[in-house]
Amino acid sequence: MAKGFCISKPLGILGILLGVAAVCTIVTLSVVYAKEKNKNAESSSLEHPTSGPVSPASATTTATTLDQSQPWNRYRLPTTLMPESYRVWLMPHLQPNDQGLYIFHGNSTVRFTCMEATNLIIIHSKNLNYTSQGHPVTLRGVGGSSPPEIDKTELVVLTDYLVVHLKGDLVVGSQYEMDSEFVGELADDLAGFYRSEYMDGDVKKVVATTQMQATDARKSFPCFDEPAMKAIFNITIVHPKNFTALSNMLPKGPSVPFDGDPTWNVTEFEPTPRMSTYLLAYIVSEFTSVQKETPNNVQISIWARPSATTEGHSNYALNVTGPILDFFSQYYNTPYPLKKSDQIALPDFNAGAMENWGLVTYRENSLLFDPLSSSSSNKERVVTVIAHELAHQWFGNLVTVAWWNDLWLNEGFASYVEYLGADYAEPSWNLKDLIVVNDVYKVMAVDALASSHPLSSPASEVNTPAQISEQFDTIAYSKGASVLRMLSSFLTEDVFRKGLVSYLHTFAYNNTNYLDLWEHLQKAVDDTPSLNLSTSVRNIMDRWILQMGFPLITVDTNTGTISQKHFLLDPESNVTRPSEFNYLWFVPISSVKNGKEQAQYWLQGTKEAQSALFQTANDDWVLLNINVTGYYQVNYDDNNWRKIQNQLQSDSSAIPVINRAQIIYDSFNLASAQIVPVTLALNNTLFLIQEKEYMPWQAALSSLSYFKLMFDRSEVYGPMQRYLRRQVQPLFDYFKNVTKNWVERPQTLMEQYNEINAISTACTNEIKECGELALNLFTEWMSHPDNNTIHPNLRSTIYCNAIAQGGEEKWNFAWEQFQKATLVNEADKLRSALACSKEVWILNRYLTYTLNPDLIRKQDATSTINSIASNAVGQTLVWDFIRSNWKKLFEDYGGGSFSFSNLIQTVTRRFSTEYELQQLEQFKQDNMDTGFGSGTRALEQALEKTKANIKWVNQNKEEVLRWFTENSIVS
């Protein structure tokens, strides 16, 4: 699944604008890549949404204290039964019934094999109303076996189980089939089999769609809802005859009329391969598609609202899907496993996208692209999210992790190779470099906290739906991507791919854990003697997977001494999580000396070593971690730092672009951790006055945005703005010239991104010409609402700055345009920009809109609240709002992973006073009964970060004020 990214992985333009991409906070990205789902099972209750009684032979157990001796009180399924196949028949009703509810009818048959003798059938079931008379299920033997009689059944709410008690044991090796009939609610909760709505003109349209990951297939039909319980699925959908039904597989043939009611059709689909329940999908809609067939006879279809299809918004996705599928077929040395690849853009969808096998679901902004109204970053988001989801069709779908504790392997891998697939589709964009900005440094900000966690946890620690949901975090996605990229780098891509191909071929249609991948990579290493690794892949990688955090590599260029230490943003924080490796790593170290690349060096799991590679004389300088392929940060002796700064200011081109960004990122993080003076980090930005490249500027703006968060309510902010005006003015003038006074766009993607940085930084820091540019462009649009001449690349920053400078009139105009927007990318830009107002009452009104799904879609509510909180004027309003509305917010979004945890992170990231810390601690205490669900870990991180912020501000405020004052003087 793509990161609840509503964060676009690529850029996060508005974040730059508002200065909220703090170097030490979680950003969810666009990525973008991102997993919002399940309601907290521990607070859920069984619902019976329709007519038709629950079978009187079934009881409902709602105990809140679990007797672990009973298997139905354990969240993990017993291994006594193994499913082989399902037959599922579903009939969604797209009009409300007499009670005003949307419902679906269904029946299912599951065939399973008895692996151990048992008198229990335990199967997942949630919010389903069983309609059979007598027992809710019937049981029969297969192949001559005779089943025992059913004694009783019960529904256990806490663990989402339907439990069938038998009067005798099932026989080992025998197969059985269990039938059930049920009714469920087609709710608008974005989970399981759910309802999405959109307007076609003045007509409301309804779509029945699915989101099963991680634990919601059980809301659609009774099933063994764990990833290792793979089976074959035979899906039949009954739907209105003017609607189209889609599922993972192609239909067996044309739809046929439903017996007894010719207004309905029946579509029966081919059996799926052996697969996990969380990858199932079925959709009933009036959507239309564009299609093409690959040279390998794979049918590609992009489905969307009919108006979006007609306007050509699906064409870009169609054009890049074929090349990306071809790339991964070659990369994995394995043909695409299915006959077709459907991708569909949904109006209501919680995550960024979901990799359902053969039927990938997306938010509209992650699949649709309008050349006239969408920006370059919108286009980049589409190609990278598609690459992410298509990477899963092999890695995740064909071969699946056995349990959610290894989710990082699934999502981290896709988050890494999405850049490779997207780069293949758009080779001129240099997309592979962006992983450093979008993933590596983003996740280091979280992984440098004492409250971080390892990539892989023991399976025994991940049981409940809420615990599973917590796995879908930035550590799993971005750290997973970062360490796998490092692994591929030091193994070489050829060896990495060789091991990967062996792994996929060995475990196709089965389940694995990360050790299986290490084993196959080791075989590839053993077949490549020239690689000469000093120890095994497992010995190296277990230290990156099983312990949290990452090392700080410190170099003394006077002696050539190199050392490592667990890097913590707060050096006084208490690390309570033990590590069998004592927080030491095997570290692959690449380096350049005076611009010349040196041989790779390994720090062999020891605290300290020495090498002439890192010793310098005279004016020589050394720089470690070329292109940031290693997952670590670097500190140098003062003399080497000065030499690097001199090189940057005399001829920065001697240092690779990515490493110019690295120097800024690392030094600011070191300053945050009080390892180097804050002035050293600030001095590393002086060269930007002559820098034109995107990545160094992005590193600086991201790093300095932490200063903005800490100081934009203090006397430091004025001198800081003056310094940024001084530094950005040459860049602003450069792009004004390149674009011929903002009429044309720069040629390369990176230049286009840095043009946006130039305008947003200039406007935010009150360069008069920029403010006038924003107001003039926006006012021109207000004069001609049907002709928006603002280039799509610039709309986010122009909208925001115009609304920030304007009052109610400009806000109301933007709100009207948001309500009328038919393209989700345009609506997203306006929705974010509406949070830029400086009027307290307007922001308060906007906050209330987020609780009304008729005004702000549920899927967009938390990101809208985050946008308001990113505004210095809005932050206090949002904090009060969240405290006042916590219970409702938790009920609506507490089961989600990205959106909810990021809500806590965003609203607290300015906290830097004892009073704010007390408020946060009181908030935790006041809401212990309600709970925090998947945001629990984020709350602990927010408390830790607030304490670190208080300490940092107290120690650095005076020095920062002095530095900005001195360096903002125009000579």
Considering the candidates 226, 355, 380, 389, report the single residue annotated as catalytic. 389
How many Cα atoms are found within 13 Å in the side-chain-facing hemisphere of 903? 31
Do the bridges between strand 244-247 and strand 282-285 make them parallel or antiparallel, or are there none, so unpaired?
A: antiparallel
Nearest to 589 by CA among 565, 619, 611, 556: 611
Question: 571: Cβ–Cβ under 8 A, 6 or more apart, which residues?
Answer: 673, 674, 675
What are the DSSP calls for 756-825, one per residue? HHHHHHHHHTT-HHHHHHHHHHHHHHHHSTT---S-HHHHHHHHHHHHHHS-HHHHHHHHHHHHH--SHH
387/876 Cα distance (integer angstroms): 39
182/223 Cα distance (integer angstroms): 13
Contact at 8 Å (CB) between 449 and 573? yes
- From residue 622, give the alpha-carbon distance in Å to each of 1, 596, 597, 619, 653: 40, 9, 10, 10, 15
- From residue 365, give the alpha-carbon distance in Å to each of 29, 308, 374, 443, 938: 13, 12, 9, 24, 26
590/592 Cα distance (integer angstroms): 7
How many Cα atoms are found within 13 Å in the side-chain-facing hemisphere of 683? 15
Neighbours of 88 (CB within 10 A): 23
325/385 Cα distance (integer angstroms): 13
* Strand order from edge to edge, sheet including 608-610: 608-610, 561-566, 551-556, 633-636
How many Cα atoms are found within 13 Å in the side-chain-facing hemisphere of 88? 29
Rg over alpha carbons for the chain, rounded to the nearest Å, is: 28
218/124 Cα distance (integer angstroms): 5
Contact at 8 Å (CB) between 251 and 268? yes
Do the bridges between strand 561-566 and strand 551-556 make them parallel or antiparallel, or are there none, so unpaired?
A: antiparallel
764/797 Cα distance (integer angstroms): 9
- CA 531 from chain centre, in angstroms, equals 34
What are the DSSP calls for 397-444, one per residue? TTEEESSGGGHHHHHHHHHHHHHHHHHHHSTTS-GGGGHIIIIIHHHH
Question: 837: Cβ–Cβ under 8 A, 6 or more apart, which residues?
Answer: 803, 804, 811, 843, 846, 871, 873
**Active-site residue 389, yes or no?**
yes
| Start-to-end CA span in the chain (Å) | 52
Contact at 8 Å (CB) between 291 and 300? yes
Active-site amino acid positions: 389
